[in-house]
Amino acid sequence: MLQLILGGARSGKSRLAEKLATDSHLPVTYIATSQPLDGEMNERVAHHRARRPAEWALIEEPLALARILRQNARADHCLLVDCLTLWLTNLLMLDDAQRLAAERDALLECLASLPGEIIFVSNETGMGVVPLGELTRRYVDEAGWLHQALAERCQRVVLTVAGLPLTLKGTAL
């Protein structure tokens, strides 16, 4: 089953995704897309690490997400990807539109053939004001298009607000 958990900053989306992964009763591999390049991001990563069960495997991959999913998805396993918007940011910062398109397309194309439970976490960025800068507008656009395409392919889509899940597609939580 493919699941997409959306929400704003500090909405509880990662915590919900971690609960769903635990509740799957399958071995879990956490796929981290962040690149902790500063002290604040290091603190966020440490907070996430401390919250995860020690038996979960960890893969850190900032760019080649489809490759990692294909290599690690198994029928008897749960993959938790946190988070797609950081992955998208990493690709946007390469300033290589072809690489961004290739990685996004590879992700969307591989989903139908992936076995097991896969949970994606992503920031819902389209509910705010239109950003002023070109890069931030492109980021919001790319995230919105990615979320639409992914939601179409997922069996469950959940929006998390104030720690409360609102099921948009699939069986309610």
Q: Please name the residues in contact with 79: beta carbons below 8 A apart, sequence gap of 6 or more.
A: 28, 29, 31, 69, 72, 73, 116, 117, 118, 119
Alpha carbon of 13 to those of 95, 96, 109, 144, 153: distances in Å? Answer: 28, 29, 25, 17, 19
48 given a catalytic annotation: yes
Name the 3-class secondary structure at 15.
Answer: helix
Query: Which single residue is written with the structure tokens 């409360």?
Result: 164
Q: Which residue in the list 47, 48, 77, 147 is annotated as catalytic?
A: 48
Q: Which residues participate in catalysis according to the annotation?
A: 48
